[in-house]
Each structure stands twice: as structure tokens, then as C-alpha cells.
């Protein structure tokens, strides 16, 4: 409306000026006087109209830029989302390749399972996997990953199973120090580490030693990695030393596991 008003005013002023210049009834001096008074007004109106036109044009320009900016943001967001999906697929493929490579090194029959749940309680260290009785899973079967032993099956349904991790206090793995062949019983601790119990005080255990499964518990195949020694405590009395073991498995990042279907215990039960 302002632009229209300004344009009308400018037209009116121009008509007046033309009338003054072309009229037969005005002398040269009077015409020049009229222009003298009207010209500043005409200039002001012209500048005002141009200013308003610029504002109006810039407004539409900014609206167009804002829309274009919003479209670009949506495009970038979709591209980032797609890139994240591709990245997640790449990471998943890398994990699966490692799992399959590890599977080839095992002589046991194994089943690949995906972790679909985790016990939120700080007192119990268990996970849920997407394989169950219909897939041939049974209670007591060991669960492993390329890094080492993860745990064992303690409960099953038709399509799902619960795994007790070795860092749970109720877990136990018969193990030995790979370097010295000294045995101990690996028990889980609340802080995510394990304690190798019943290790004789006289045994030369050192920090950094690798601990592997002994195979003597009839559950876990022999030679699977459990963890490495991080601390040794020899008290003034007693025949045992306390050996702290840090598991090789990062239990906070478990996504896929292998269930060993033909464990030593399973073979023994089948023979019975």
C-alpha cells in the first residue's frame, strides 16, 4: 500500500510539473519558481518510493533465501542420516567378519547370535540373545566372542536365551595361567573384573600374564582366552594368593556372540 501511495503521489507531482511547464498562462519565471518548490518534494518522493521498493524486494529475497536455507538443511540432514546408516552397516560388517574369522579357527560347532537385551541391574551381569531352543540352544552351553569367553547359557525359551557373563558373581570358570600352567577358579566381581581364586602362594604369577580356560570344568573348551592379570596380592598368612584378572571381552559393547553347541559338557551328557 505504501508503494502504491508513493507511486500515485509521484504521478500527481509529475503531472503538476508538466502542467506548469506546458501552460500558456504561466510565464518563464513563474514556471521556474514552481519547479524550484516542487522539485525537492519530487526528489523526496522518488527516493522514498525507491527505498520502499528496495525493502520490499529485499524482504522477498530474504524469504527466498530462508526457504532455500531450510531446503539445504533438510538435504544435509538426510545426507548425514544416510551416511550414519552406511557407517553403522560398515561397522557391523567389520564385527561380523571378525566373528566369522574367529569361527573358522574353532573346531567346535557354533551358532551366531545377536544380543537383544541386557540386565539393567548392577547386581546381575546377564544378556539376552536371539537364539533359543528352536535353534538347538540348551542350558549350560558356553558363549564366546573373538576376544575370549563371554559366559554360559542359564535359561532358554523357544527363540531367546539368557547368558550369565563371567563377570557375574555366580559365574565360575576353571582356568590356568598360560605361561606357568598354574590353575585357578575365575569368579566374577561387581566392578567388572574377575578374581582367580585358589591360586597357590608359591606359584610365580606376574602382572600381564594371560589366563585361558583349562577345559577341566567340562564346560568351556580348553585354551579360550579369559583375561590378563592386573594385580597380585600375597598376604602374610594363608596358602593362596589373590590374583585379579581383567577380562579381554568388553561386556558393555557386546552385540554378536557365538554359542558353542558341542561343548565338552554337552558331549558328556549326550553320551549318558
> Which tens digits make up the pLDDT trace of 184-215?
999 998 788 999 999 998 999 999 999 999 99
pTM of this structure: 0.64
Nearest-angstrom CA–CA distance, 237 and 215: 31
Q: pLDDT tens digits, residue range 227-238?
A: 999 999 988 888
* Distance of alpha carbon 115 from alpha carbon 34, whole angstroms: 93
Give the model confidence (pLDDT) of 1-35 as tens digits: 545 555 555 555 555 555 555 444 444 444 455 55
Segment 127-155 shows an average pLDDT of 93
Q: Is 112 helix (H, G, I), strand (E, B) or coil?
A: strand
Angle at 117 between CA 112 and CA 122, to 5 degrees: 125
pLDDT for residue 88: 59
**Cell for 141?**
552351553
Q: What is the pLDDT of residues 34-47, one digit of tens each?
A: 555 555 655 665 66
Please say if the pLDDT value at position 268 is more than 60.
no
φ and ψ at 196, to 5 degrees? Answer: -85, 110
Amino acid at each position: 500500500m505504501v508503494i502504491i501511495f508513493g507511486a500515485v503521489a509521484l504521478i500527481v507531482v509529475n503531472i503538476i510539473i508538466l502542467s506548469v511547464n506546458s501552460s500558456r498562462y504561466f510565464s518563464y519565471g513563474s514556471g521556474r519558481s514552481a519547479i524550484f518548490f516542487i522539485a525537492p518534494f519530487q526528489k523526496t518522493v522518488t527516493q522514498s518510493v525507491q527505498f520502499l521498493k528496495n525493502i520490499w524486494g529485499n524482504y522477498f529475497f530474504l524469504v527466498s533465501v530462508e526457504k532455500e536455507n531450510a531446503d539445504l538443511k533438510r538435504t544435509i540432514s538426510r545426507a548425514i542420516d544416510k551416511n550414519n546408516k552406511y557407517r553403522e552397516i560398515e561397522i557391523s560388517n567389520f564385527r561380523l567378519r571378525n566373528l566369522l574369522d574367529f569361527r573358522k579357527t574353532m573346531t567346535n560347532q557354533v551358532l551366531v547370535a545377536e544380543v537383544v537385551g541386557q540386565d539393567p541391574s548392577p547386581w546381575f551381569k546377564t544378556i539376552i540373545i536371539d537364539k533359543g531352543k528352536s535353534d538347538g540352544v540348551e542350558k549350560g552351553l558356553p558363549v564366546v566372542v573373538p576376544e575370549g569367553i563371554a559366559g554360559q547359557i542359564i535359561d532358554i525359551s523357544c527363540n531367546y536365551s539368557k547368558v550369565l557373563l563371567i563377570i557375574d558373581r555366580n559365574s565360575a570358570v576353571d582356568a590356568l595361567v598360560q605361561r606357568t600352567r598354574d590353575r585357578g577358579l575365575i569368579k566374577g566381581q561387581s566392578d567388572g573384573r574377575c578374581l582367580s581364586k585358589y591360586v597357590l602362594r608359591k606359584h610365580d604369577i606376574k602382572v600381564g600374564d594371560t589366563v585361558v580356560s583349562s577345559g577341566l570344568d567340562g564346560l568351556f573348551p580348553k585354551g579360550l582366552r579369559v583375561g590378563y592379570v592386573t594385580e597380585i596380592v600375597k598376604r602374610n598368612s594363608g596358602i593362596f594368593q589373590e590374583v585379579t584378572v581383567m577380562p579381554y571381552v568388553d561386556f558393555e559393547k557386546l552385540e554378536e556372540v557365538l554359542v558353542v553347541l558341542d561343548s565338552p559338557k554337552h558331549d558328556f551328557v549326550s553320551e549318558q
